[in-house]
Amino acid sequence: MKVTAQKIADLIGGRVEGNPGAVITHLAKIEDAGPGSITFLANPKYTHYLYETKASAVVVNEDFKPEKKVDASLIRVNDAYKAFSDILEFFHQDFPQKTGIESPSFIHPTARIGKNVYIGAFAYIDEQVVIGDNVKIFPHVYVGAESQIGENTILYPGVKLYHQTVIGRHCIIHAGAVIGSDGFGFAPDRENYKKIPQIGNVVIGDNVEIGANSTIDRATMGSTVIRDGVKLDNQVQVAHNVEIGENTVIAAQTGISGSTKVGRNCQIGGQVGMAGHIRIGNNVRVGAQSGIVNDVPDNEVLIGSPAINAQLFRKASVLFKKLPQLYEDIKQIKRKLGLK
C-alpha cells in the first residue's frame, strides 16, 4: 500500500504538520521506524526517539510540544494510541480478501452454505453442515457432520471441527486448532481401561478467538461451552465439559481439566494448569505457570503451583532463595541453645 500523510490524517481526523504529501508504505514502532513508515508517540518514555526517527510521519497527541527539531511530518490527533490502532486496521483491510469456492473441495450435497462465503481448496464440509454468510473457510479445514458456523467467522488453514460442533458469529479460529475431539474418559476395567463414549459436543459463542494448535474436547454428554468474547491463545487445552465465561482471556499453553467452570472476565496467564471439577469465579487473575487445584472466589489474584495469593507468593519466593541462609541461622541457634 502507498498512501500520503494527508490521506491518513483524513482517515483518523487529524491535522498534518509538515509535508502532507509524504508517502507512507508501512507501519513501524518508533524505535524501528525508517523512511516510508508511519509510527506514533503516546508514551512520553519514548519521546527521545522522535528527534532521531527517520519515519516519514508520526502520529502524536494534539497537545504534544516537541523540545527539539523533528524531521518527520507530525499528524496531530486527540488520542495517538487509539488513532494508530485505526491505521493498523486500515492497512490490515488492504490485504486481499478471498471469496468463492475453490476446487477441488469436498462439500456434501446436504450442507447449507451462506452467501459470500470463501471455501478454500481441499476443505471438507460434511453432511448437514450449516455455514453462515461471509464465512471464510481456508484450505485443509475439516468441518464434521451437523456442525454449524455463524456468519463472518474465519477458520484458518487446517482447523478441524469434529461432528456437531457449534461456532458463533465473528469468531476467528487459527490454523491447526482441533475442536470437538473426544474427552479423555476411561473407566478402569480389570488391568485395562474401557473407553467412555463421548457423545456431547462443543458450543462456542460469538466474537471468540482461538489460537493455533489449541484443542477443545467435546463433552461426555451435554456441551463443552466457550462463551461470547473469550480469547484463547495458541496451544491451549480445554478438556471435556469445561465452561469458560464471557470475555475471559487465556494465554498460551494453559490447560483446563474436565468439568471445570471458569468465570467471566478472568485473565489467565500462560502454562497454567487447572484441576478438574473446580469452579473459578469472575474477574480472577492467575499468574503464568500456576497450578489451580481448588475453587477460587471472585476477584482473586493468584500465582504459584499450588497457587496462592499473588502478594504472598512473591514474599515467599524471595525467602525460598534465602532458605540456605535460614537453615544456617537455625543450626547456629540450636548450637547456641544446646539443642539437637
Binders of a copy of itself in range 151-170 (CB under 8 A)? 156-158, 160, 162-163
The answer to whether the CB of 165 falls within 8 A of the CB of 173 is no
Start-to-end C-alpha separation, the chain: 78
Give the CA count within 13 Å in the CB-facing half-sphere of 11: 18
148 binds a copy of itself (CB under 8 A): no
Size of the site for a copy of itself (CB under 8 A): 106
Q: How far is CA 271 from CA 84, 210, 278, 300, in A?
A: 31, 16, 18, 18
181 binds a copy of itself (CB under 8 A): yes
289 binds a copy of itself (CB under 8 A): yes
45 binds a copy of itself (CB under 8 A): no
- In the bound complex, what is the minimum distance in angstroms from residue 195's beta carbon to a copy of itself? 7
- Compute the Cα dihedral for 211, 139, 136, 92 and give only its sign: positive
Tell me 334's DSSP state.
H
Q: Which is nearer to a copy of itself, 15 or 121 (CB)?
A: 121
Binders of a copy of itself in range 246-285 (CB under 8 A)? 246-247, 249, 251-253, 255, 257, 265, 270-271, 273, 275
138 binds a copy of itself (CB under 8 A): yes
The answer to whether the CB of 46 falls within 8 A of the CB of 31 is yes
List the catalytic residue out of 26, 108, 140, 240. Answer: 240
Q: Which of 11, 222, 282, 285 touches a copy of itself by CB under 8 A?
A: 222
> Which cell numbers in the block locate residue 52?
532521531
- Determine how many CB atoms are found less than 10 A away from the CB of residue 271: 15
- In the bound complex, what is the minimum distance in angstroms from residue 103's beta carbon to a copy of itself? 9
Q: Which is nearer to a copy of itself, 64 or 184 (CB)?
A: 184
Q: How far is CA 51 from CA 142, 182, 185, 233, 257, in A?
A: 52, 58, 62, 37, 52
Q: Which of 5, 41, 212, 262 touches a copy of itself by CB under 8 A?
A: 212
Active site residue 240: yes
The position carrying cell 484458518 is 156
234 binds a copy of itself (CB under 8 A): yes
The answer to whether the CB of 155 falls within 8 A of the CB of 136 is yes
Among the listed ranges 8-16, 54-62, 67-75, 85-93, the one in contact with a copy of itself (CB under 8 A) is 85-93
Q: Which of 76, 169, 174, 227 touches a copy of itself by CB under 8 A?
A: 174
The position carrying cell 511530518 is 73
Residues in the chain: 340
Annotated catalytic residues are 240
